């Protein structure tokens, strides 16, 4: 987003907390955009082909987001919701640098229009 707003992430000690909504057993691994979060914020919509068993879907989410964001998988950890579709991830690193990285990544996405940004979908 041009103003650097990250509706799905918040600063935390040693990095950022990122809210995600996961759809397991999808046809392919992808980030689908943003979805309203029950607490009033937004979450990244992530789909993975892995089944939600033995941590396979969580590992697939981490692998996908690490590739999307071009960070090491070891910098991403599920801190809440390991057995739930709604999760909170911790992205370790300098919070200011991570905000810039994710803002740049978000600005490059083509999901139509993002909900909650004031821009209508086409």
Give the span between the Cα atoms of 51 and 40, in whole angstroms. Answer: 28
The domain spans of the chain are 9-107
Closest-CA residue to 101 (of 122, 78, 75, 82): 75
Contact of 19 with 46, CB cutoff 8 Å: no
Give the span between the Cα atoms of 74 and 89, in whole angstroms. Answer: 12
Architecture of domain 9-107 in this structure: 2-Layer Sandwich (3.30)
What pLDDT shows up at residue 54?
Answer: 94
Positive or negative, the Cα torsion across 117, 69, 54, 17? negative
Range with the poorest average pLDDT among 12-21, 33-42, 61-70: 33-42
What average pLDDT does the chain have?
Answer: 89
pLDDT digits (tens, 9 = 90+) for 64-100: 999 999 999 999 999 999 999 999 999 999 999 999 9
What pLDDT shows up at residue 119?
Answer: 46
């Amino acid at each position: 987003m041009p103003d650097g707003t990250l509706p799905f992430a918040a600063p935390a000690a040693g990095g950022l907390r990122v809210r995600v909504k996961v759809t397991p057993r999808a046809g392919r691994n992808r980030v689908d955009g943003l979805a309203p979060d029950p607490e009033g914020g937004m979450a990244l919509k992530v789909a993975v082909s892995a089944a939600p068993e033995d941590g396979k879907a969580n590992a697939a989410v981490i692998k996908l987001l690490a590739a999307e964001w071009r960070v090491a998988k070891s910098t991403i950890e599920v801190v809440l919701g390991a057995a739930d579709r709604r999760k909170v991830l911790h992205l370790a690193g300098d919070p200011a640098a991570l905000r810039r990285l994710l803002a740049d990544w978000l600005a490059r996405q083509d999901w139509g229009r993002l909900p909650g940004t004031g821009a209508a979908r086409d």
